[in-house]
Structure 1
Amino acid sequence: MPLPLAVPYAAALLLSVAALPAVVHQQDTSASGHCTRIARLHVPGAEHQEASCLDELTTAGTVASGHTDPADWAGLTPAGLATPTGVPGIQIDGYFPDTSAGNANHGWKHDAQFVVRLPDRWNGGLVVAGSPGVREQYANDRAIGDWMLSRGYAFAATDKGNTGATFYRDGDAPGEAIAEWNDRVTELTRAARAVVTQRYHRPPSRTLATGMSNGGYLVRWQLENHPELYDGGVDWEGTLWRASGPNLLTFLPPALRHYPLYASGGPGADEAHRAMVAAGYPAGSEFLWPFHHQYYWDLTQRIYREELDPGYDGSTEAGTPYCAPGTPACDADYVYASRPPEVRRAVAAIGLTGRIGKPLITLHGTLDVLLPIGQDSDVYARMVRDAGRSGLFRYYRIEGGTHVDSLYDVFPDKLRPLTPCHRSAFRALEAWIGHGRQPVPSRTVARPEGAGPGTLLEECSLAGKETGF
């Protein structure tokens, strides 16, 4: 079966993004109701902003109006995911002061871009998200934003302050580009709460953080470091950064070393397979390995290693693509444990602790082979437990889920999309913080036997069969 033609998603994936048309600022033309007092709205701290009165805030309207970028969210959702409609309101695009210029949206060539959407029919809540991978501020529009807006939430998203596969050029020291991601989410949360108050004349009754991959990491970090800003969060396969490991730099190099030998099928293939499984890539996920080797593992390793350990390859920038083991400074030979202490200090500066201060729900697919579950969320769950915060945490391991939901279209008999599971987790969080209803205990959620696309695209019961982990 052919792979998707849409540009796939990974924590490190670059997208070819065309500049969007300039946003047309629309003055307030009504005395009340739709877009009332639009000209008075101001995002605190923004260097530039443009507000638009839209008849449709979801991608059902923003694609045509130029208020989103489809390239930014390509490959993040299954093709059959429904698009909600009927959400008029105000969209504010803009950017905060910044010195980097990787984000070309709107022709601004300015990072720290954001989008804030304010629906006319507001439910009192605000959802804030950081972008996955190194994508831009519209990356969550299909997977998260559309659904939140259709349920009445105000929605705010950020590009995290640097974008693209050369994001590591931002900052003056190793790890500073990633550290900026956390600062930008905090900055946007505070600003979005203020502009929501301006628009609706009262502050949000609940502020929730959510995101996938790097966006999930940002949820974890915010609830550990700024719990006062949020009422809770949902982490969708967040990236784990931990100075002592595991982290990307511990489990990606073994894949680069061993996968080619396994794929060759020659002598040593069985041993290479055992090494892959030992590194965290579960038996049964082999059908996903060729795709991830082609698109994800190599680029992800090189650019994140360059961000955190630029000295490994000297003056070379982000290593040599697909180098063979034994090649000087090859990332396939990278051994995190043998690197100088300053590398672990750089990781520690962006690292997670598990000391969350508000309710958090984490979900992770058991067939994730970009961030293998045993090297990521299984570990984070133990960190939360060891920090004594289990009462604030639920963890759902989704059987058959993988890091790229569009791959469900290619392997519908083996995978399940995580988008419906994220929505179930979000509803569970709402009931938890809004009504005190405890979510079902942490568990592995089985993939329903014989379930067809209609079921898997729309349903994900977290109260499925309970198994240990």
Structure 2
Amino acid sequence: MRPSRAVPLGAATLVAAALTWPPPATATAVGDGHCARQERVQVPGAAFQRGACLPDLTTTGLAGTRYTDMADQAGLTAKGTITPSGVPGTQIDGYFPDSSHFNTTHGWHHDAQFVIRLPDHWNGGLVVTGAPGTRRQYATDTAISDQVIARGYAYAATDKGNSGVDFYRDGTRPGDAVAEWNARTTQLTRAARRAVAQRYGHAPRRTYITGISNGGYLTRWQLEHHPELYDGGVDWEGALWTADGPNLLTSLPTAVARMLGSARDEDMYAVGFARGSEFLWPYHENAYWGVTQKIYRAEFDPAYDPGCPGPSAGGTAEQILAPCPSDARYAYTSRPAAVRRAVARVALTGRIGRPLITLHGDLDALLPKAADSDVYARMVDARGRGALHRSYTIEGGTHVDGLYDTYPDRLRPILPCYRSAFDALVSWVEEGVRPPADHTVARPASGDVVDSCALDDRDALAR
């Protein structure tokens, strides 16, 4: 990986060609119980849907077909990640009514796209997620879908209603685009629950919400606002939005200032960036900080610098990744009250209504844990909901697992710990087995870190 040529992992498919729909040659016909009742499944509220009976719903079977997008998953998992295969069932792709057109997947040029996977051998559960970063509905197929459908869960994912680095252009008021993310996740959850009932004859007995980064934010928000829809969730480094800060707009301006030579390392530590994460900063300078600050600032505070990013974040990778120089001087707390009101529309409160497990790497150089999940844990406690929450720090974890392949001696992938956390959530919800208290999961000195993580590691608890 060469930082000087990096494309942001959160926007890895911005320059990818649009997919077209023709079904793969491996699709099979319905028969002998395979994909039973496929024809009965009508996703409530969908403006368009297409179903396919497939021999394998995992990325092992779908890679290279139009039923997933491996490019949109780039960087989220380590190369050596072992994934399951051989999960036959039905896949439904489609979209809900929407007036925006950022998502070009399948050549539809239509937002609010979703994917629903219904394995032949169902365990009675449903897992729902929203895309991380500015990605689309297939982004977490390897990280989340593969594992849960192999265990028998139905799975549903949304593009959040807008995607790509120009997502801030959606809507008419500041904050509209992000507010839509929450509405689309709720919409898909309700629709997927009914689709599951049509396929299997009854509604899911358990519904879990989960996600990475922006998907983790959605997980938190849904458990705060719609606990009636879910039994619990796993939040993998969810983005924190609070009206008075901290949020992305209170930490990233310092990172942009450092990029442009007007901030010191001590300034970075002061806004939450971890000591010891410095070796990751050059990559993030080239791949994340500038583009992330300018597009989220444009979403909530477009009046600050209307000329940058303007009607588009850029037409080339270089333009997209370039920061707005004015963002090095951005001071969120000094901006007009209207900006805080825009953030307040989507802000988190900590008032979760169902069990939630949070994971966050201690070397996250995009969403610093000290200014994010540590704060959110305190918010949950302040709301009197601490008994419903567990928060685990993953030593050596950073924002995307793909960086492990570049720094295997310093990092560890979070995905194995995420899988352990999901198992712990299920045991908590369905068997009443409470997970370990909040702690740091130590990075082992030896052994398999790509596919193994003991969440209740006694060594970690003793440190």
Per the TM superposition, whether the score is higher than 0.5 is yes
Change (3 A) 1:63 1:397: same
C-alpha distance in structure 1 between counterparts of 2:338 and 2:12, whole Å: 27
Change (3 A) 1:333 1:188: same
Q: 2:298 aligns with which of 306, 309, 324?
A: 306
Q: RMSD of the alignment, in Å?
A: 2.2
**Pair 1:42-2:34 in alignment:** no
TM-score normalised by L of structure 2: 0.93
The residue type equivalent to 2:105 in the other structure is N
The residue type equivalent to 1:393 in the other structure is H
TM-score normalised by L of structure 1: 0.92
Change (3 A) 1:2 1:308: closer
- Aligned ranges for residues 332-351 of structure 1 at < 5 Å? 332-351=328-347
Partner of 2:442: 446
Deviation at 1:272, TM superposition (A): 1.0
**Could you report, residue by residue, the CA deviation over 1:73-94 in whole angstroms, capped at 9, with x for unpaired residues?**
1111001111211100000000
Contact 1:16 1:71 in 2 (8 A): no
Partner of 1:435: 431
User: In structure 1, the residue corresponding to 2:82 is in which secondary structure?
Assistant: coil
Change (3 A) 1:246 1:30: closer
Change (3 A) 1:155 1:6: farther
**Pair 1:73-2:73 in alignment:** yes
C-alpha distance in structure 2 between counterparts of 1:468 and 1:147, whole Å: 30
**Pair 1:459-2:455 in alignment:** no
Change (3 A) 1:386 1:107: same
Contact 2:3 2:287 in 1 (8 A): no
Partner of 1:236: 236
Q: 2:421 aligns with which of 422, 425, 441?
A: 425
Partner of 1:191: 191
Contact 1:402 1:415 in 2 (8 A): yes
Contact 2:12 2:71 in 1 (8 A): no
Deviation at 1:21, TM superposition (A): 2.8
Deviation at 1:231, TM superposition (A): 0.2
C-alpha distance in structure 2 between counterparts of 1:92 and 1:25, whole Å: 14
**Pair 1:287-2:286 in alignment:** no
Partner of 1:53: 53
The residue type equivalent to 1:148 in the other structure is V
Change (3 A) 1:291 1:341: same
Deviation at 1:20, TM superposition (A): 1.9
Partner of 1:256: 256
Deviation at 1:466, TM superposition (A): 4.9
- Identical pairs, percent: 58
Contact 1:364 1:396 in 2 (8 A): yes
Partner of 1:128: 128
Change (3 A) 1:48 1:152: same
Change (3 A) 1:409 1:315: closer
Change (3 A) 1:160 1:468: farther
**Could you report, residue by residue, the CA deviation over 1:171-216 in whole angstroms, capped at 9, with x for unpaired residues?**
1100000000000000000000001001110111100000000000
Change (3 A) 1:365 1:458: same
C-alpha distance in structure 2 between counterparts of 1:230 and 1:425, whole Å: 17
- Aligned ranges for residues 212-231 of structure 1 at < 5 Å? 212-231=212-231
Give unmatched runs, 5+ long, in structure 2.
314-318
**Could you report, residue by residue, the CA deviation over 1:140-197 in whole angstroms, capped at 9, with x for unpaired residues?**
1011111111111111000000011000110110000000000000000000000100
- Aligned ranges for residues 177-188 of structure 1 at < 5 Å? 177-188=177-188
Partner of 1:266: none
User: In structure 2, the residue corresponding to 1:65 is in which secondary structure?
Assistant: coil
Partner of 2:150: 150
C-alpha distance in structure 1 between counterparts of 2:296 and 2:81, whole Å: 31
- How many pairs were matched up? 453
Change (3 A) 1:369 1:191: same
Deviation at 1:315, TM superposition (A): 4.5
Change (3 A) 1:323 1:393: closer
Give unmatched runs, 5+ long, in structure 1.
263-270
Change (3 A) 1:435 1:349: same
C-alpha distance in structure 1 between counterparts of 2:100 and 2:47, whole Å: 14
C-alpha distance in structure 1 between counterparts of 2:323 and 2:211, whole Å: 33
C-alpha distance in structure 2 between counterparts of 1:58 and 1:14, whole Å: 20
C-alpha distance in structure 2 between counterparts of 1:391 and 1:462, whole Å: 18
C-alpha distance in structure 2 between counterparts of 1:215 and 1:338, whole Å: 29
C-alpha distance in structure 2 between counterparts of 1:340 and 1:468, whole Å: 47
